[in-house]
Structure 1
Amino acid sequence: MTEAEIETAAVLLADARRSGTQIDGLPVTPLSVAEGHAIQDRVAVLIGERIGAYKAGAPPDAEPTRGLIEARMVRASPARIAVAEAPHRGVEGETAFRFTRDLPPRSVPYTREDVASAVTVLPVIEIVSSRFREPLSRPKLEQLADCGINAGLVTGPETADWSHLELAKLRITFIVNGETRIARDGGHPTDDPLAGAVALANMLADGVKAGQIVTTGSWTGLPFLQPGDRCLVRFEGLGEAEVVFDG
């Protein structure tokens, strides 16, 4: 993509965010993760919102990715989110990490041990919604440009000492409107929740800041709910997060 094409894509997405409207797609699809990230970054400048969290993926056989999450859309559990704020109403139960100190950019990559010593862990619900009218029909790199079709994050309690927990094997319970949809041990897509936090620390040009959160992959798939629905995710040993979509 040219700089002009990146700017055009960013303006379209920023305008859709401001107005609460949806678009069919981008005029030019990004061809790389770097271009998707560049569009995200330009949207953030145009919107002018503080970034409070990230979503990050670190698949073992592909390039890591990240999505920006506006601080105003990071809500403490139990949370109520208006349908207008997240019209697609997607939910993903996840484990996330809050950075307890800055990890500035450096020439030597941060190790797992570096990152593990600088984070707490917490249960979250990622709220999935998009500026695209039919987000899952768009190419993956367009979804990435739209911050990985993220709309927000609902956060549960933090655990500072989590060294005794096998994060990838935690028991998860996922409940919608009182009905248990998932109850099992494990379920993270790569069996390595911390990998996303490590990837993020090494990915950001400006580093990560104390207080920022990174969520690292869905344990529950991606169900889409209805107005008025109540969703709860519980991780044994960590606690739970809950959200209701106000109609």
Structure 2
Amino acid sequence: MDQTQIDEAARLLIAARRERQLLPALPEAAQPQSFADAAAVQDRTVAQLGETIAGYKIAGTGSASVMWGAVLGSRVFTSPARVEAALVPLLGVEVEIAFRLDRDVAADDLDWTKARFDEAATALPLLEIVDSRFTSYTGTPPLHRAGDLMSNGGIVCGAPLADWRSINLEKLAITLSFSGQIVADVVGGHAAGDPRLPALAFLNAPLRARTLPRGTILTTGTYTGLLYAKPGDLVEADVGPFGKLRLDFTA
């Protein structure tokens, strides 16, 4: 994509966001052809919105193939949270373990191991709110969704856990309920097994090419799959040693 095409894709996604009018698709001339294109659309979108980046939603475990989406500063909430359902109408919910960087990470710092990561980050429980600027979330090509901030609608953060390194993250027991009805009850289930692996892939990705300030949140994928709430639902998650999360989707 050239800059004109990037600008057009960002303009359309911003208009859909502001006007709450979903897009059937991006026009052919404004479609990302690679993740590098999608990342450029994200950067332009964030800049035009006048937003800050609080973190990144990460998908994948290979440094050459990992994808990510910016988490907007205005869409970071603390549990217990209240979020207007109309703000994120897809109402997708995922329970995740995220990591907060406890130091700045330079753009050219691409030599991360588990041991080094464990010294530089603190884990916390998190609800991801999945949302989309497209009429069909599942029917939209992955690169188009990547340009749309990887379909991130926001995150609800629990309290960081200082002693997280003693926990087996591959066998974490999690229960998720909507308005008192259990919709997920799992032990483990993260696609990567260890949620640190997507974070490491992102940190080591040559395409990252940006400094990550201390406090950046890296959210690393769902344990519970993607589940859909309804307006008015009370979302509650029990994340074992990480504590509980609560989100009210106000109608």
Q: TM-score range by the shorter chain?
A: over 0.9
Q: Distance in 2 between matches of 1:213 and 1:112?
A: 17
Question: Which of 109, 127, 138 lines up with 2:111 in the alignment?
Answer: 109
Q: Distance in 2 between matches of 1:240 and 1:57?
A: 24
**1:19 equivalent in structure 2:** 19
Residues paired across the two proteins, number = 247
Q: Distance in 1 between matches of 2:226 and 2:11?
A: 28
The percentage of counterpart residues that share the same residue type is 36
Describe how 1:56-75 pairs up with structure 2 within 5 A: 56-59=58-61, 63-75=65-77
Q: Distance in 1 between matches of 2:57 and 2:45?
A: 16
> Are 1:244 and 2:215 counterparts?
no
Q: Distance in 2 between matches of 1:61 and 1:183?
A: 31
Tell me the secondary structure at the aligned position of residue 175 of structure 2.
Answer: strand
Change in 2 beyond 3 A, CA 1:124/1:60: same
Question: Which of 49, 52, 55 lines up with 1:50 in the alignment?
Answer: 52
> Are 1:222 and 2:222 counterparts?
no
1:191-240: CA deviations, max 9, x gaps?
02011222222343222111111110011111111100111122211112
Question: Which of 210, 223, 227 lines up with 2:214 in the alignment?
Answer: 210
Q: Distance in 1 between matches of 2:130 and 2:93?
A: 6
Q: Distance in 2 between matches of 1:213 and 1:166?
A: 20
8 Å contact kept, 1:173–1:234: yes
8 Å contact kept, 2:175–2:237: yes
Change in 2 beyond 3 A, CA 1:227/1:108: closer
Tell me the secondary structure at the aligned position of residue 124 of structure 1.
Answer: strand
**1:5 equivalent in structure 2:** 5
Q: Distance in 2 between matches of 1:35 and 1:106?
A: 20
8 Å contact kept, 1:157–1:240: no
8 Å contact kept, 1:105–1:202: no
Tell me the secondary structure at the aligned position of residue 176 of structure 2.
Answer: strand
Moved more, 44-53 or 197-206: 197-206
Change in 2 beyond 3 A, CA 1:53/1:61: closer
Q: Distance in 1 between matches of 2:98 and 2:139?
A: 27
**2:168 equivalent in structure 1:** 166
1:75-125: CA deviations, max 9, x gaps?
000111102210111101111111111111225522222222111111111
1:28-82: CA deviations, max 9, x gaps?
3322111111111111111110111210112459710100011111100011110
Structure 1 unaligned residues grouped into runs of 5+: none
8 Å contact kept, 1:16–1:131: yes
Q: Distance in 2 between matches of 1:55 and 1:48?
A: 19
8 Å contact kept, 1:53–1:74: no
Tell me the secondary structure at the aligned position of residue 204 of structure 2.
Answer: helix
Describe how 1:194-205 pairs up with structure 2 within 5 A: 194-203=196-205, 204-205=208-209
RMSD: 1.6
Q: Distance in 1 between matches of 2:186 and 2:64?
A: 27
- Paired amino acid for 2:96: E
| Cα deviation, residue 7, structure 1 | 1.6
8 Å contact kept, 2:110–2:203: no
8 Å contact kept, 2:42–2:70: yes
- Paired amino acid for 1:225: A
Question: Which of 117, 136, 139 lines up with 1:137 in the alignment?
Answer: 139
**1:128 equivalent in structure 2:** 130
Tell me the secondary structure at the aligned position of residue 126 of structure 1.
Answer: strand
Q: Distance in 1 between matches of 2:24 and 2:62?
A: 31
